Amino acid sequence: MREAGVAVIGGGAAGLFAGCFLKMNGADPVILERNPECGLKLLITGHGRCNITNLKEPRELKHGYHEASNFVYPAINSFPPSSCVRFIEDEVGIKLKTEENDRVFPVSDKASDIRDGLVRYIGKDRMITGFKCVSIRKDDALFEIVSEDGSMVKAKYVILACGGMSYPHTGSDGAGFKLASALGHSIVKPAAALATVNTSPEFCGPLAGVTVPGVILTLYDRGTRKALSEGDLLFTHKGISGPSVMELSREIPARPDDTYILADFAKDITDRDLTELIDARPKALFATALASLVPRRLAESLLDDPQIKCSGITSAERKKILGRLKGFRFDIEEAPDINSSYCTRGGVELSELDRKSFGSKIVPGLYVIGENTDVDGISGGYNLAFAAASAHLAVKSIVG
């Protein structure tokens, strides 16, 4: 049996940041991680490069957290991305760089540098790996944290940081929701956020690998417009992907009976532009003319006859193609897969947490941070920014 001041359950991004801040403040933390090593998911973030945060100002950044924007604001304002960058560079000793859209990465482009740096900062003597927490009890003063093999850790405070349900092979398989629920917390039903969308495989499959820049996407469910996004769209063997598609994915209902996405592949193009394009090159293949607006393979897929010349396009056909270009319909037949989503929507109900500390309003001494809570952010470093900021606020509350 080990006793510690603070037990952090889960050694992922949020748990490791919590461990660092506790160590920095001279607290006595122990990180309890089920895997043989901490931060497995961190290693695969940003395609192995780890987009650790996003340098937007907190007032702008908060809009990347959907319904939770006001809830997360005190955290990202108290530990803004600029502070996170300073901490990682000055304390952890890893140089960072800023790329397009304010996204921050390690200069080395290695996620392992971030993971290893955080682990080193805390010290392995403060970590118990292979500790799969199965229950948390609280007597008057101390929490008793019990692992699957029966070993126990006692602590005055518990920070629950077990993540969500995405990429369960990295360790976050929803156990944190069960632990919180057993302590009396409500869990908002988990669902996929930041997922690729399976749709129209017969259309998308042959286009796999094609990227279309600046596509406007509108998600409709039962006739109602539910979400809008804009960005590069990537065709996959089974459907569509890319940051803007992934952002819409969280709005797809569990039963997408009458759900579809309309894609505007050529947002600046009008019927007049298309007419001029056709008239300017009567002898050219229409697919060649269209390829000045969208990638050639997509242009061909949008046409009933890819061999038709511009001169052969009737006004009705032009209007039909314009409709496909500016409102291509992707019917959604299945909810996005939570296992392969980058982030989990749902988790510990936010009204049961104090947004100024991430402390539980139900169990004094318990804190819930990171993806274990009902917070999910858009892509671009938002989720790791939240992991760090929520950890910072919890630790600040504990150490006073």
Residues from 17 through 36 that contact ligand FAD (CB under 6 A):
32-35
CA atoms within 13 A on the CB side of 58: 17
3-class SS of residue 139:
coil
C-alpha to C-alpha distances, 183 to 173, 179, 307, nearest whole angstrom: 18, 7, 65
Cα–Cα–Cα angle for 44, 46, 49, rounded to 5 degrees: 80
Contact region for ligand FAD (CB under 6 A) — 60-68, 158-166, 251-259, 260-268?
158-166
- Looking at the Cβ atoms of 251 and 371, the one nearer to ligand FAD is 371
Distance CA 107, CA 127 (A): 27
- Looking at the Cβ atoms of 96 and 313, the one nearer to ligand FAD is 96
9 binds ligand FAD (CB under 6 A): yes
Distance CA 142, CA 283 (A): 82
| Burial class of residue 89, CB neighbours in 10 A (0-12, 13-18, 19+) | middle
- Looking at the Cβ atoms of 182 and 254, the one nearer to ligand FAD is 182
Q: Which of 161, 233, 285, 338 binds ligand FAD (CB under 6 A)?
A: 161
CB of 237 to ligand FAD, least distance (A): 18
11 phi/psi in degrees, rounded to 5: -105, 50
- Looking at the Cβ atoms of 204 and 384, the one nearer to ligand FAD is 384
Convert residues 105-144 into a mask of x (bound to ligand FAD by CB under 6 A) and - (unbound).
--------------------------xxx-----------
Residues from 309 through 368 that contact ligand FAD (CB under 6 A):
342-343
3-class SS of residue 355:
coil
Return the CA Rg of the chain.
24
Contact 398, 262 (CB under 8 A): no
362 phi/psi in degrees, rounded to 5: -105, -40
Contact region for ligand FAD (CB under 6 A) — 61-69, 183-191, 196-204, 380-388?
380-388
| DSSP label at residue 114 | H
CB of 95 to ligand FAD, least distance (A): 17
Of 11, 3, 45, which Cα lies nearest the Cα of 123?
11
- Looking at the Cβ atoms of 10 and 294, the one nearer to ligand FAD is 10
- Looking at the Cβ atoms of 87 and 131, the one nearer to ligand FAD is 131
Distance CA 334, CA 386 (A): 29
- Looking at the Cβ atoms of 35 and 259, the one nearer to ligand FAD is 35
Residue 30 is encoded by which pair of tokens? 């122990």
Q: Which of 7, 14, 197, 289 binds ligand FAD (CB under 6 A)?
A: 14
Closest-approach residue to ligand FAD (CB): 12
162 binds ligand FAD (CB under 6 A): yes
Q: Which residues bind ligand FAD (CB under 6 A)?
A: 9-15, 32-35, 40-41, 44-46, 50-51, 131-133, 161-163, 166-167, 171-172, 175-176, 342-343, 370-372, 381-384, 387
